[in-house]
Amino acid sequence: MEEIRSLEDLLDLQSLDSGIDRLLDRRSQLPALAAYRTVHRRLERLNADITAAEAVKRDLDLSEDRTEGEMKLDEAKLEREEQRLYAGGLTAKDTTYLRDEVQMLRDRVGRREDEALALIEQQQATAAALETLEAARREGVVEKERLEAEIASEWQVIDADIARLEARKRDTVPLIDPDLLVLYEEIRPSKEGVAAAPMVDGTCGGCHLKLSAAEDVQVHKAFPPRCIHCRRILVRR
């Protein structure tokens, strides 16, 4: 009778372990976790895009500053050369040369203006894109924080349930024959966590295969009784 009681307690332990396994699986498979991982990946991409956009903006700012500086130098030189030209007193050759120089400077200032305008347009486009990315990142951070709170809340409930089952498990383990317990722990990893199963009407509750009358007798001659098909420990019900 003591052996039967130990087997009954083992089946209780299996029920507790299966309950804990289900809770742990539920804990790792929360829908909010999948959503959290998606948001996290999106934020990583946004951060990378923002970093790249900020680098582009810095380069454009530097280029625009450089172009503006060069244009101011050209404008100052153009103003000086125009003053010399309009002042007169030059030879025909010098006048022709100075006119060509003034025209060249005017053309260059015009190109600098076009470059500056193009850079300003690129700056504006980049700034707008950066603003959109940063807005998306802010939304992502809010969503991530919401999911973190949801996950923490659900985990708190699950962990409390696990703690209750673990407490019952601690009370059950001492009731089981130590050798039986060792065998149970050896079998569990290879049997998807189910090492002990009820046997109802000659059918194993683990693999769901029916034992013949002769097999039933053979199985229950040994202790602990084990299914001839799946080798799980059987507890007759």
Tally the domains of the chain: 2
Res 4 pLDDT > 80: no
Instruction: Give tens-digit pLDDT for 55-102.
Output: 999 999 999 999 988 888 988 888 888 888 788 777 888 788 878 888
Same domain, 201 and 221: yes
- Put simply, whether the predicted model's pTM sits higher than 0.85 gets the answer no
Same domain, 202 and 126: no
- 19 within some domain: no
Q: Is 236 helix (H, G, I), strand (E, B) or coil?
A: strand
Residue 8 lies in a domain: no
Single out the residue in 171, 200, 228 at which a domain terminates: 171
Q: Does residue 17 surpass a pLDDT of 80?
A: yes
From residue 190, give the alpha-carbon distance in Å to each of 2, 15, 77, 180, 185.
Answer: 28, 17, 87, 16, 10
191 and 160, same structural domain? Answer: no
Within 13 A of 79's CA, how many CA atoms are on the CB side?
6
Cα–Cα distance measured from residue 30 to residue 42, given in angstroms and rounded to the nearest whole number: 19
Claim to verify: residue 111 and residue 166 sit in the same structural domain:
yes
Calpha distance 153→78 (Å, rounded): 71
Residue 96 shares a structural domain with residue 187: no
| pLDDT at residue 164 greater than cutoff 70 | yes
Residue 234 φ/ψ, nearest 5 degrees: -105, 140
The answer on 86 and 189 residing in a single domain is: no
- 65 and 89 within one domain: yes
CATH label of the domain that carries residue 132: 1.10.287.1700
Strands 196-200 and 203-204: antiparallel
Mean pLDDT of the chain: 93
Token couple for 135: 């807005």
Residue 9: alpha-carbon gap to chain centroid: 42
Is 61 inside any structural domain? yes
Domain membership of residue 1 (yes or no) is no
Tell me, yes or no, whether 83 and 152 share the same domain: yes
User: What is the model's pLDDT at position 237?
Assistant: 84
Give the domain range for residue 190.
181-236
Considering 125, 149, 171, which residue would you say is the last residue of a domain? Answer: 171
Residue 12 lies in a domain: no
**Does 9 map to a domain?**
no
Q: Are residues 54 and 122 in the same domain?
A: yes
Residues 91 and 206 in one domain: no
Task: Give yes or no for residue 182 having a pLDDT over 90.
Answer: yes
